[in-house]
Amino acid sequence: MDSKAKVAFLGLGVMGYPMAGHLARAGYSVTVYNRTASKARQWVKEYGGTCADTPALAVRDCDIVFACVGEDKDLREVVCGPQGALAGMKPGAVFVDHTTDSADVAREMHALFKSHAMAFVDAPVSGGQAGAQKGCLTIMVGGDEEVFESVRGILDAYAVSVTRVGEAGCGQLAKMVNQICIAGVVQGLSEAVAFGKNAGLDVKQVLGVLEKGAAGSWQMQARGATMVDGLFDFGFAVDWMRKDLGIALAEARRNGSSLPMTAMVDQFYADVQQKGGGRWDTSSLVTRLPRKDKH
């Protein structure tokens, strides 16, 4: 994609704000929209570009429109509302949805945009707030291959891996696989941290050893020490994880999968919410477990 391409970014949350910033730094002409307009103005002050009062105005004359909003209903609103993106996009433009939402809404949007001579790909991301800030996200894309090829270059502005995993909706299904994996890893790490504390170990030292072996994981490297310290202000929140796991569990009911561990961890996250930890990051799962504090 030519760096002179005009693009819009809809949704400037903890992920969208830095992602849009990487596009601006890569030389693209970026117009942003955010439901809270002051955040869009702050983005422009930091990165340049322009902001618009509605999605329809933001996407006018754009070649590619990116969105990173909350869930299915938010995507439908930003696309199909009276001042939504669909009302302002030009024929031939591509809509890239970075929201983690359902495969059903991705297929719905793919058909809708196609009927208006436009294109849509679902492109959820993995890597969290830190990955968005550093520009090292993993992106899994569902949609038509030729459309994917037309946008994959621009996605390199904030990704280390961009892969088409199938037709419309498959990006979202792949993201569900990602969240299922994370749920199990974080629960196992939580139990390990609590066990190590109760056993009287220097848990940070132990994790430093283990992360180089078979038990090592991104979660252990990035969150192990902060879990030991009881710090849970590092991006992806429990509330959003429960939303994602709910999507995965609903899809599992449709396709006949059994997700007992995922269902259990989802309820453990509900316990964290009830403790007032809905905005804590997902490593706060450890707070459910009894721990001694000798070390």
pLDDT tens-place string over residues 226-256? 999 999 998 789 999 999 999 999 999 999 9
137-142/125-126 β-pairing: antiparallel
Residue range 115-136: mean pLDDT, rounded: 96
Mean pLDDT of the region 272-281 = 97
pLDDT at 130 over 50: yes
Tens digits of per-residue pLDDT, 53-98?
999 999 999 999 999 999 999 999 999 999 999 999 999 999 999 9
Given a cut of 70, is residue 294 above it in pLDDT?
no
- Over residues 148-159, the mean pLDDT reads 97
Nearest to 79 by CA among 162, 8, 155, 163: 8
Do 115 and 99 contact (CB within 8 A), yes or no?
A: no
Q: 2 pLDDT band (50/70/90 cuts)?
A: low
Catalytic residue numbers? 175
Q: Which CATH number fits domain 6-167: 1.20.58.220, 3.40.190.10, 3.40.50.300, 3.40.50.720?
A: 3.40.50.720
Mean pLDDT computed over 209-237:
94
Can you read off the two tokens belonging to residue 242?
């429960």
What is the average per-residue pLDDT within 159-181? 98
Whole-number percent of the chain with pLDDT over 70: 98
Binning pLDDT at 50, 70 and 90, where does residue 293 land?
A: low
Q: What confidence score (pLDDT) does residue 290 get?
A: 87
Decide: residue 238, CB within 10 A, 0-12 exposed, 13-18 middle, 19+ buried. buried
Q: What CA–CA distance (Å, rounded) separates 50 from 37? A: 12
Percent of the chain's residues with pLDDT above 90: 94
Q: Average pLDDT, stretch 40-50? A: 98
- Using the predicted structure, report yes or no on whether residue 291 has a pLDDT greater than 80: no
Tell me the domain boundaries of the chain: 6-167, 173-288
| Rounded average pLDDT over 211-234 | 95
Stretch 22-29: mean pLDDT, rounded? 96
| pTM score, whole prediction | 0.94
Tally DSSP H helices, then E strands, for the chain: 12, 9
Domain 173-288 is classified in which CATH homologous superfamily? Answer: N-(1-d-carboxylethyl)-l-norvaline Dehydrogenase; domain 2 (1.10.1040.10)
pLDDT at 295 over 80: no
d(CA 121, CA 136): 20
Q: Do domains 6-167 and 173-288 have the same CATH topology?
A: no
Helix (H) / strand (E) element for 33: namely strand 29-33
